[in-house]
């Protein structure tokens, strides 16, 4: 696909500076871009490449002041990074919209209801009672269980598995290998030391505009619903346990595990490899640093936590500062003890 600078400026509401007829057909990093590519400049440390790049078109901030002449056509916008991201989304949308039809071999149960302009990749299995909205894209190897509902414009990448009775909203993207609706980890200990499985009869509901990375697992509820609210973004390799709730626009980085029945508020930011125990609540706007372990409810909104067990970030920094100074403090205490001992000897001598 080819686009002119003028067309791109219309998409991202930018102002063209240079040749509005300049054409690009792909994207490139500003330091590596070729003559037919579009790049962007948002980080000032890459500004030197603005004057040497071969890119035909470059998206830049309105505030950028040129220090040298440039050969590329510039498109000025308030935020180059956000504009470039919006352009990539538009490009991806156009590319995926072109995918339609059913590849063979695939299985579609006669009772399944399919929307318009959908794509079903080879080796996809769609069970009975499934309802799929318009413009949905199911890439090869996807499994859709009984009575699953999938909203319009949703994309399921290769190998995604959606178990029975789960609900996926509109404009959701789920990446390869992720499993939605597997059994929650529920086992009752028995008198003889064995464990008896507790049936998991609930489901998972994923609301609109959620994105979930590769190889994540979201367990179905024991009863009721495991809920991922609108706008949440989950990284790769995340475990969400049964009956958990993830709030609106919450972001969670890779290898985080959230235990059962825990409720995460809106706008929470969770770093990688965080562990959160079950049956607690995390207040709106909380920020949890990577590798923290959260073992109790966080009631104060917009708190920042770190460590294991996690506690207030500012207090943690003070504790770390004290810990670094322990050798020096030990030396000073030893000197004070020696001085006190000398003073006592002198007093006895008097």
The catalytic residues are: 242
Residue 211: enclosing H or E segment and its boundaries?
strand 211-212
Tell me whether strands 304-306 and 311-312 are parallel, antiparallel or unpaired.
antiparallel
Nearest Cα neighbor of 267 from 288, 289, 251, 290 is 251
Residues 6+ apart with CB under 8 A from 153: 133, 134, 135, 136, 170, 171
**Cβ–Cβ < 8 Å for 288, 294:** yes
What residues are paired with 57 via a beta bridge?
Answer: 38, 73
**Cβ–Cβ < 8 Å for 121, 140:** yes
Distance CA 204, CA 169 (A): 11
SS3 content of the chain, % helix, strand, coil (to 5): 20, 30, 50
> Cβ atoms within 10 A of the Cβ of 286, count?
26
Total residues belonging to the chain: 350
In terms of Cβ atoms closer than 10 Å to its own Cβ (0-12, 13-18, 19+), residue 221 is buried
CA trace torsion 283, 173, 163, 244 (10° rounding): 0
Residue 150: enclosing H or E segment and its boundaries?
strand 149-150
Residues 6+ apart with CB under 8 A from 180: 160, 161, 162, 163, 166, 168, 174, 204, 206, 212, 218
């Amino acid at each position: 696909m080819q686009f002119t600078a003028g067309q791109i400026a219309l998409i991202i509401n930018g102002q063209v500076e240079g040749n509005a007829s300049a054409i690009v057909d792909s994207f490139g990093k500003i330091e590596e871009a070729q003559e037919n590519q579009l790049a962007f400049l948002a980080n000032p440390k890459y500004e030197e490449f603005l004057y040497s790049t071969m890119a035909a078109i470059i998206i830049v901030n309105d505030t950028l002041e040129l220090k040298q002449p440039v050969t590329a056509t510039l498109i000025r916008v308030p935020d180059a990074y956000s504009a470039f991201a919006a352009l990539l989304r538009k490009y991806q949308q156009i590319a995926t919209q072109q995918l339609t039809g059913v590849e063979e071999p695939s299985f579609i149960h006669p009772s399944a209801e399919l929307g318009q302009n959908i794509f079903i990749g080879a080796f996809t299995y769609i069970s009975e009672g499934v309802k799929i909205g318009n413009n949905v894209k199911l890439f090869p190897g996807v499994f859709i269980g009984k009575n699953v509902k999938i909203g319009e414009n949703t994309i399921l990448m290769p190998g995604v598995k959606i178990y029975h009775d789960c609900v996926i909203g509109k404009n959701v993207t789920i990446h390869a290998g992720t499993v939605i609706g597997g059994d929650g980890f529920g086992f009752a200990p028995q008198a003889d030391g064995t464990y008896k499985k507790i049936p998991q009869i609930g489901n998972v509901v994923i609301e609109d505009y959620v994105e979930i990375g590769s190889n994540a697992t979201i367990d179905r509820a024991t009863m009721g619903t495991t809920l991922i609210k609108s706008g949440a973004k989950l990284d790769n390799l995340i475990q969400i346990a049964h009956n958990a709730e993830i709030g609106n626009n919450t972001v969670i980085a890779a290898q985080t595990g959230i235990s059962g029945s825990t409720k995460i508020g809106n706008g929470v930011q969770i770093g990688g490899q965080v562990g959160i125990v079950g049956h607690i609540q995390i207040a709106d706007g909380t920020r949890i640093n990577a590798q923290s372990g959260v073992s109790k409810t966080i009631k104060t909104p917009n708190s920042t936590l770190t460590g294991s067990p996690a506690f207030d970030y500012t207090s943690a920094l003070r504790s770390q500062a004290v810990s670094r100074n322990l050798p020096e403090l030990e030396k000073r205490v030893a000197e004070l003890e020696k001085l006190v001992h000398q003073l006592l000897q002198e007093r006895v001598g008097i």
